[in-house]
A and B are shown apart, each in its own frame.
Chain A
């Protein structure tokens, strides 16, 4: 292909990526080293607020931002180095807790609590998603042709549901006297509160994520299964390989690039776990890194948001994803180089 043609095809998408991915990333990176504050002054303010019958007026010293002539808040931006990262990571507390061997104290620091959950969520759901996806794919592949269509359709349904809606439905099914909790209670005769402790919430989250993402793995694997070399399979049968041996030595190696692909996508997606936290309202028990960033970003009633810490936390999340992806990416790279020779 001529370079000009190539550039004409790729140009727009490179431009979009620079504009919508690279530029915001650079800006977040810069903001994570800065703090922007309004210039504040302390003034005496008399505020009169209504009771039911009469007003109460109080005079107090209030800290309010200074406005310039055009009515805009005067702000000042300073470079603060790694201060925001320090505020998020709280390394001093972390090391002193590590020194005391106090796991509980580490889990009291938001970032480490979130990291613990995010990592276990990502790493535990990964084999489950691949396993369940492969199992469905094999089952469908072996099913009679007549019912294959409907089975594929039904297995794909969970993937179509918007994640927030899906997690909310699970929440409603299990919270308080939700249908499923009520059923379980009747069946077991004990009072069940799924949202009263961390481990049951986490269990529901794992279940939900696997249920939601397994269809994606299934579709990819199912497509992969169509290209398995039949000759190799038949010769394996003639050699007396059992079903399990065929799966292990023929099918899985054939599907390996796809498994890596799904692992990549899943790691990236899961490390940004967020919908489950919001949908399950689990902030009291379980939080994730992405939720932490969101929480910093959300303004309180007085309109404050912690932009610097949100930027730092977002950068840390990105660093975490890069670390997680190094392993599978190295493997793909090696395969890629190997096949080039």
Chain B
């Protein structure tokens, strides 16, 4: 009996000590966060939750909730998860606070690269970079003696070869779901052709030679993609890969880990990553660079902000990265890139490097205009020139309504 009690007490004390090892302190201020719902955020918020008094909301619709939730006083969340696209409304409305003093107090382990500075002030702390890059079936390409494509022309040639060899009917996957995804793929290609999105007076500049070339290249892609490509989003392409239906796709780096997930994937170990293909010789990889990170709300007390930031730092420590190494291309200290990260790192460090996705009000408007007007080109109802003209018109209308254009 006595022995049993001793053993039990020992076990409990052991459990207790591991719990304390996971978090270096005990959080006493209630903290809530709102972020996107992908794997990396799950890892980070789980790590934060170990300190107690923390509630995480992982929601793919966070981008529509966040601006209003942070505008409330007091703010409904202390911590927000953002990317360079979704930080714009928060910055514009001034609902997030500068973090300089908090970084000084708790951010000893942060690398200077992680600090997002706007006019010298730290407004966000980045935890990972994300980009779209080429994922391909190394076995299929090797069987047919195809070298890893580095330009879109080579991707198309490789697709033709795979199709001719009868290995796959639709060798290419693409995130061309009408709306946000399709627009983003255009942005990537357009950046690859060296296009610029806006003129100095905020008018749209997509109706250009680079625009035409991008559309032609994307149309050429659809020859090798599933006919239902206009409904295919990242998850759909990921599943096509996992089920061995496609051999190549320009897909988000955050999806790479799923290829080796044995519970879902039939192609474990067969999918390799390389840099995003270039649209033209000597150009940048046809993609845009994204970061994801945290911001702290402005409409909360300083004590809450202090507690929230301290908690966030606990979530972004190297211990978390070690336990979820392959969930993202982490910027956090302690990250050891594996094969899965090769493509994304090659893309991000390419010279010349792809541009970061612009976080501006205009870009949001243009992105919507692209998403709404591009489908007509791919269904064949409209020519490339007419489509680019329609995009410019749609942008002008909404920019005037938003007050960006007079």
Residue A35 interfacial (CB < 8 Å): yes
C-alpha gap A67/B91 in the complex (Å): 11
Of B9-17, B23-31, B141-149, B223-231, the segment with at least 4 beta carbons within 8 Å of chain A is B223-231
B379 & A46 in contact (Cβ 8 Å cutoff): no
A-B contact pairs, 21 of them (CB 8 A): A46-B120, A49-B126, A49-B291, A49-B356, A53-B113, A63-B362, A73-B94, A110-B372, A282-B231, A283-B179, A284-B178, A284-B230, A284-B378, A284-B379, A295-B372, A299-B67, A302-B85, A302-B364, A303-B93, A304-B364, A306-B401
A50 & B331 in contact (Cβ 8 Å cutoff): yes
B94 & A51 in contact (Cβ 8 Å cutoff): no
Chain A residues packing against B (C-beta within 8 Å): 35, 37-40, 45-57, 61-65, 67, 71, 73, 84, 87, 104, 107-108, 110, 175-176, 191, 193-198, 281-285, 295, 298-304, 306, 308-309
Q: With A65-B93, A301-B364 given, can you name 7 additional A-B contacts, CB distance below 8 Å?
A: A35-B401, A48-B116, A49-B291, A53-B349, A54-B113, A67-B93, A299-B67
Shortest distance between the CB of B5 and any CB in chain A (Å): 54
B361 & A302 in contact (Cβ 8 Å cutoff): yes
A302 & B88 in contact (Cβ 8 Å cutoff): yes
Give the size category of B's interface with A: 35 or more
Residue B259 interfacial (CB < 8 Å): no
C-alpha gap A311/B4 in the complex (Å): 72
Question: Which residues from chain A contact B353 at a C-beta distance below 8 Å?
Answer: 51, 56
The total of interchain contacts (Cβ-Cβ below 8 angstroms) comes to 174
Question: Which residues from chain A contact B401 at a C-beta distance below 8 Å?
Answer: 35, 37, 84, 87, 306, 308-309
C-alpha gap A285/B381 in the complex (Å): 10
C-alpha gap A107/B298 in the complex (Å): 46
Name B348's contact: one of A52, A65, A107, A306 (CB within 8 Å).
A52
Q: Which 9 A-B pairs have the closest CB atoms?
A: A302-B364, A303-B89, A37-B403, A284-B375, A284-B178, A196-B227, A300-B364, A284-B230, A301-B85
CB nearest neighbor in A for B120:
A46
C-alpha gap A64/B114 in the complex (Å): 24
Residue B359 interfacial (CB < 8 Å): yes
C-alpha gap A306/B394 in the complex (Å): 12
> Known contacts A52-B129, A71-B298, A303-B92: does B118 contact A108 (CB below 8 Å)?
no
Shortest distance between the CB of B292 and any CB in chain A (Å): 10
> Known contacts A37-B402, A40-B404, A303-B364: does B379 contact A285 (CB below 8 Å)?
yes
> Known contacts A108-B382, A175-B228: does B367 contact A301 (CB below 8 Å)?
yes
Shortest distance between the CB of A46 and any CB in chain B (Å): 6
> Known contacts A47-B117, A64-B361, A302-B361: does B381 contact A195 (CB below 8 Å)?
no
Shortest distance between the CB of B127 and any CB in chain A (Å): 10
Question: Counting chain B CB atoms within 10 Å of each CB, which of A37, A50, A56 scores highest?
Answer: A50
C-alpha gap A321/B377 in the complex (Å): 32
